[in-house]
Structures are given as structure tokens and as C-alpha cells.
């Protein structure tokens, strides 16, 4: 078993003797060992710029020292924070015995805890947008195989599905002796395919059976990738039924509700939706700020309110991207030894990222997207018409502007042809009630939010 923290620390010791103090401290010491992928040590850089610099200037020396200290490794790969999850998934061999590379080997159990330490219920910030998903995840963690089986969590990208799965896992590892299998759907698809190719007679190999049927809890992340894979779906259907009948807890995540996953067999859609299905919505401004504060605290960074609001207002509503902006601020602060605590400094630090792509969602984007979705004109949404086919999208636009941008009602009123703030309030409340009681409106709002995310 390889302990990558130890490997990296030994490498750092050697590097510190070879390199200039400043370069070492600024560029190398801040790298974080993530995992081993194809015999290379994966090192995470705090930002894209830092990654580029280490890659061009220091990759050779790091590689040389690393392989000298640890001949079983062949080199290094540099990644940024947003690729971390992918690499961790790729080194998925933690659970199937092959390769077996873990960050923190637990001496007691035969299987190391594959769940990221930082993704727990405690570090998950609750808000209106994720309250149901959070409650459901907690309930399943405490009572697996109980009332909510399967638990199906869906949302747009970067809104916390994987975080919740790891939180459930971390909780169960601590509180029970359950055998938990956590796989992303790509790994599972590969396992199923290689099992089929090796055993044409439809029989499962022992290793496959051991892995998929001998678990008490099965978690499959991003199950939407089963879409279109008929043979895999068929195999998964049997695994699912087998576990389900034994009251084994199944937890699935996806970017869509079961019924909306294209080319997924009807019987699987029905199975997936037969327990509890919960979604995570885009967090509102307040929750976004709370998430930033929590992430900053985890890194012991003193985040000023001004900067927290600046990031929350200027990033898309995707939490992962928002975190990227925060990390950039933290990195710049440490690089310059100046705390970035004002909007002006933050703006400077984030200039590139904010220019790269329009990260801001503003009221115009929302109105345009709603108009596009309903195939009505923007003028009509702002205008006086009271036709049903205009009133509904207008109210949804108002609701979304208020929710996502926390824009004051009076300001929204003047934007919508000088409507009174009570009219705006009525529209907002009507839609927020409808979302709870009317499935159609709920889906419409979720679709529009997804369109906004994917702009
Ligand atoms: P998904 O799997 O839905 O694409 P992730 O679970 O990978 O999203 O989340 C992306 C990042 O955002 C992670 O770093 C996660 O910790 C963070 N995140 C998302 N929602 C929250 C939340 N409510 N509280 C704290 N962190 C969150
Ligand atoms: Mg995910």
C-alpha cells in the first residue's frame, strides 16, 4: 500500500534542499498530493496560473526527485482543483483491491475509507435550495435500507450531489460496519462490460459478484451515463433488484430526474423513482455567501463580507466555479502576502477569470432565458399584456430575479414597466407556492435554471 502523503513529504524534503527558498515556497510547497493515477503522482495546484508555472518550470525537477525517492512511481501529473474529483474517481481501485492506493490508510479495516474527508454533513451548507436533499441524505445515512430506498438525488452540475454522497459515506463508515460500495457510473459501466466480455455465458465473475452483490450499501454517482447503454442497463437492473430485495440501501445521483434521463429503460426509471427522489436547486445569494464563508473557514482564510458578496454576486450559481474563484483569491493573498479584503482587490485578482467567461447572471439573462423558453418576446414580458401565455412567464422571471439575484422588489417593479412592489411580491409568492404544489411549474423553473447554468 502506498501512502501518498508520506511520499510527497519525503519528496518535499529533498526539493527544499535543491530549490531556491522563494520558488519552493510559492510554487512547490503549495501543491497537494491527490492520488496516484497510472503510476504518476497527481498534484493539485491552487489555480490554473500556478499549475502552468509549475508545469513549465518545475515539472522536471519534481519528477526527478519523486522518482528517485519512490522508484515505483513514474512521474507527476498537475491538475487544478476542479479536476480533483475526476482523478479521485479514476483511481477508483481503492475498493476493488487492485492497485489499492489510498491517501490515509486506516490500519483497522480491510478497506480504506474511500470518502473525501472534507465532504461531510457538517461542511455542507444548508439552504432552501438543498434542504430536502440534505434531510433525505441524513435520514438515509442514519437509517439505511429503511423507508427511502432507493434515494435518488439530482441537480445541475456543481451543486453538491457528490458532496452529499461522500457525506453519507463518511457518516456510515463512522457509525456502522456496513460494506459500502461507492462507484461512479463510468467505473460501473466498465466493470459490467469487462465482466460480460470475460464471461460470455452471462455468469458473473467472482470478483464482480463480490464487488456488486456483496455490499450493504451501493452508491452510484452520475447514473445518467447509463443512458443509451442497453446491455449495461440490463445488468444493472438485476444488481439493483437483488440488492433492493435484501433491503440493501441504494443511493443514486444524476443530472436529471429519472423520467427525464433519455433512453433509459422504462423499468429502470420506475425502479429509480420508487423510493425517494429529491433535487438540489441553485442556491440563492444568501446560501452562496454562507458556502463561501464555510469554504474559507476550512482553509483558515479570513474572508471579508465585501469579498464574499463580490464573489457570490459575480460567479455563476454553480458552487464549484464559485469555489474556484475563492481559491484564486486565497492564492493571490498568500502570493502577495496581502489580504484581499476589498471589492477592488478582488476584482483585480479575478480579472482574468471574470473576463474569460461571463460568469455573472443578471436580470437581463434571466428575462431572455425565460422568453426563449416560453417562446414569447422580451417586450411582452416587460409590457402590460395580461394574456395567460404572457403572465405565467412574467411571474416566473420575477420569481427567478428575486430568488437568484436577491434584487429588491421595488427595483424589479421598476424594471417591469413600473409595476408596484406588491404586484411583484404577489408574483414571487405565487410561483414559490406553485413550485411546491404544481409539478409542471416546478419542472419549468428547474429547466430554466439549468438553461441559465449552461449558458
Ligand atoms: P455535483 O456532484 O452536483 O456536480 P459536487 O458535489 O462535486 O457537485 O460539488 C461541487 C463543489 O461545491 C464541491 O466542492 C462541494 O463541496 C461544493 N458544494 C456544493 N454545494 C455545497 C453546499 N451546500 N455546501 C458546501 N459545499 C457545497
Ligand atoms: Mg458529482
Is 43 within 8 Å of 76 (Cβ atoms)? yes
- Domain 4-90, CATH number (from 3.30.300.180, 3.30.930.10, 3.40.50.720, 3.30.365.10): 3.30.300.180
Give 67's contacts (C-beta < 8 A, 6+ positions apart). 73, 74, 75
At 217 the pLDDT is 96
CB atoms within 10 A of CB 11: 26
Is pLDDT larger for residue 103 or for residue 438?
438
How many whole angstroms from 323 Cα to the centroid of ligand 1? 9
Give SS3 for 76.
strand
- Report the percentage of the chain scoring pLDDT > 90: 53
Among 22, 18, 7, 30, CA closest to 60? 18
Nearest atom of ligand 1 to the alpha carbon of 160: 6
Nearest atom of ligand 1 to the alpha carbon of 123: 25
How many whole angstroms from 281 Cα to the centroid of ligand 2? 14
Is pLDDT larger for residue 98 or for residue 148?
148
Range 386-411 average pLDDT: 91
In this structure, which ligand is nearest to the CA of 319? 1
In this structure, which ligand is nearest to the CA of 122? 1
Nearest atom of ligand 1 to the alpha carbon of 126: 23
At 222, is the pLDDT very low, low, confident or very high (cuts 50, 70, 90)?
A: very high
Can 4-90 and 285-349 be said to share one CATH topology?
Answer: no
Calculate the alpha carbon distances from 92 to 168, 181, 212, 218, 420 in Å.
18, 11, 14, 15, 56
At 106 the pLDDT is 36
At 72 the pLDDT is 79
Range 214-222 average pLDDT: 94
Asked whether the CA dihedral 200, 206, 207, 210 is positive or negative, the reply is positive
Between CA 27 and CA 57 the distance in angstroms is: 10
Instruction: Give the residue, by CA position, lying nearest to ligand 1 atom 6.
Output: 160
Nearest atom of ligand 1 to the alpha carbon of 287: 23
How many whole angstroms from 165 Cα to the centroid of ligand 2? 9
DSSP string covering 296-365: HHHTT----HHHHHHHHHHS-S-HHHHHHHHHHHHHHHHHHTS---SHHHHHHHTHHHHHHS-----HHH
Mutate to test the pocket of ligand 1, among 34, 158, 295 (most ligand atoms within 8 A of CB): 158
List pocket residues of ligand 1, CB cut-off 6 Å.
Answer: 85, 119, 123-125, 130, 155, 157-163, 291, 294, 319-320, 323
**CATH domain 285-349 topology:** Helicase, Ruva Protein; domain 3 (1.10.8)
In this structure, which ligand is nearest to the CA of 156? 1
Among 166, 130, 136, CA closest to 150? 136
Nearest atom of ligand 1 to the alpha carbon of 119: 16
Instruction: Give the residue, by CA position, lying nearest to ligand 1 atom 27.
Output: 160
How many whole angstroms from 40 Cα to the centroid of ligand 2? 24
Q: Which residues pair with 37 in a beta bridge?
A: 40
At 359, is the pLDDT very low, low, confident or very high (cuts 50, 70, 90)?
A: low
At 202, is the pLDDT very low, low, confident or very high (cuts 50, 70, 90)?
A: low
Query: What would the pLDDT profile of 26-85 be if each residue is shown by its tens digit?
Result: 889 999 999 888 888 999 998 888 898 898 888 888 988 888 877 778 889 999 988 888
How many whole angstroms from 417 Cα to the centroid of ligand 2? 41
Q: What is the DSSP letter of 55?
A: I
Among 292, 282, 272, 288, CA closest to 130? 282
**CATH domain 363-454 topology:** Chromosomal Replication Initiator Protein Dnaa; Chain: A; (1.10.1750)
Arithmetic mean of pLDDT over the chain: 87
> Would the pLDDT of 111 be above 90?
no
- Domain 131-280, CATH number (from 3.90.1300.10, 3.40.50.720, 3.30.365.10, 3.40.50.300): 3.40.50.300
Q: How do the domains of the chain map onto residue ranges?
A: 4-90, 131-280, 285-349, 363-454
| Range of lowest pLDDT (82-86, 157-161, 371-375) | 82-86
At 369 the pLDDT is 94
Query: What would the pLDDT profile of 306-333 be if each residue is shown by its tens digit?
Result: 999 999 988 877 898 899 899 889 888 8
Mutate to test the pocket of ligand 1, among 115, 128, 286, 320 (most ligand atoms within 8 A of CB): 320
At 23 the pLDDT is 80
Q: Which three cell numbers stand for residue 200?
A: 460470455
Amino acid at each position: 500500500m502506498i501512502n501518498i502523503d508520506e511520499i510527497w513529504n519525503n519528496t518535499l524534503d529533498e526539493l527544499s534542499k535543491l530549490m531556491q527558498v522563494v520558488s519552493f515556497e510559492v510554487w512547490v510547497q503549495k501543491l497537494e498530493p491527490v492520488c496516484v493515477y497510472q503510476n504518476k503522482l497527481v498534484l493539485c495546484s491552487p489555480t490554473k496560473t500556478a499549475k502552468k508555472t509549475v508545469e513549465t518550470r518545475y515539472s522536471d525537477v519534481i519528477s526527478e526527485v519523486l522518482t528517485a525517492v519512490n522508484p515505483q512511481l513514474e512521474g507527476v501529473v498537475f491538475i487544478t482543483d476542479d479536476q480533483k474529483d475526476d482523478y479521485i474517481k479514476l483511481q477508483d481501485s481503492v475498493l476493488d483491491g487492485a492497485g489499492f492506493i489510498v491517501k490515509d490508510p486506516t490500519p483497522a479495516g480491510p478497506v480504506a475509507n474511500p470518502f473525501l474527508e472534507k465532504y461531510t454533513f457538517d461542511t455542507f451548507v444548508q439552504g432552501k435550495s438543498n434542504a430536502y436533499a440534505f434531510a433525505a441524505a441524513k435520514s438515509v445515512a442514519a437509517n439505511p435500507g429503511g423507508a427511502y430506498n432507493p434515494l435518488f438525488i439530482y441537480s445541475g452540475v456543481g451543486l453538491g450531489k457528490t458532496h452529499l454522497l461522500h457525506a453519507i459515506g463518511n457518516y456510515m463508515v463512522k457509525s456502522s460496519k456496513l460494506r459500502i460500495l461507492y462507484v461512479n457510473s463510468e467505473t460501473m459501466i466498465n466493470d459490467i462490460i469487462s465482466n460480460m466480455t470475460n464471461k460470455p455465458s452471462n455468469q458473473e465473475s467472482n470478483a464482480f459478484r463480490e464487488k456488486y452483490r456483496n455490499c450493504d450499501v451501493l452508491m452510484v454517482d452520475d447514473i445518467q451515463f447509463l443512458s443509451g447503454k442497453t446491455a449495461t442497463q440490463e445488468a444493472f437492473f438485476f444488481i439493483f433488484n437483488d440488492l433492493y430485495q435484501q433491503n440493501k440501501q441504494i443511493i443514486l445521483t444524476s443530472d436529471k430526474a429519472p423520467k427525464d434521463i433519455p433512453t433509459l429503460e422504462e423499468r429502470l426509471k420506475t425502479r429509480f423513482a420508487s423510493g425517494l427522489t429529491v433535487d438540489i436547486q441553485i442556491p440563492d445569494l444568501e446560501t452562496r455567501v454562507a458556502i463561501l464563508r464555510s469554504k474559507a473557514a476550512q482553509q483558515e482564510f479570513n474572508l471579508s463580507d465585501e469579498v464574499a458578496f463580490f464573489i457570490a454576486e459575480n460567479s455563476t450559481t454553480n458552487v464549484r466555479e464559485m469555489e474556484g474563484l475563492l481559491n484564486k483569491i486565497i492564492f493571490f493573498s498568500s502570493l502577495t502576502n496581502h489580504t484581499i479584503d476589498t471589492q477592488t482587490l478582488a476584482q483585480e485578482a479575478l480579472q482574468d477569470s471574470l473576463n474569460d467567461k461571463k460568469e455573472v447572471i443578471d436580470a437581463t439573462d434571466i428575462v431572455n432565458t425565460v422568453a426563449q423558453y416560453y417562446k414569447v418576446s422580451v417586450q411582452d414580458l416587460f409590457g402590460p399584456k395580461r394574456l395567460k401565455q404572457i403572465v405565467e412567464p412574467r411571474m416566473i422571471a420575477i420569481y427567478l430575479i428575486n430568488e437568484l439575484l436577491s434584487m429588491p422588489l421595488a427595483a424589479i417593479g421598476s424594471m417591469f414597466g413600473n409595476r408596484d412592489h406588491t404586484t411583484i411580491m404577489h408574483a414571487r409568492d405565487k410561483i414559490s407556492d406553485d413550485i411546491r404544489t404544481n409539478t409542471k411549474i416546478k419542472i419549468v423553473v428547474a429547466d430554466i435554471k439549468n438553461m441559465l447554468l449552461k449558458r
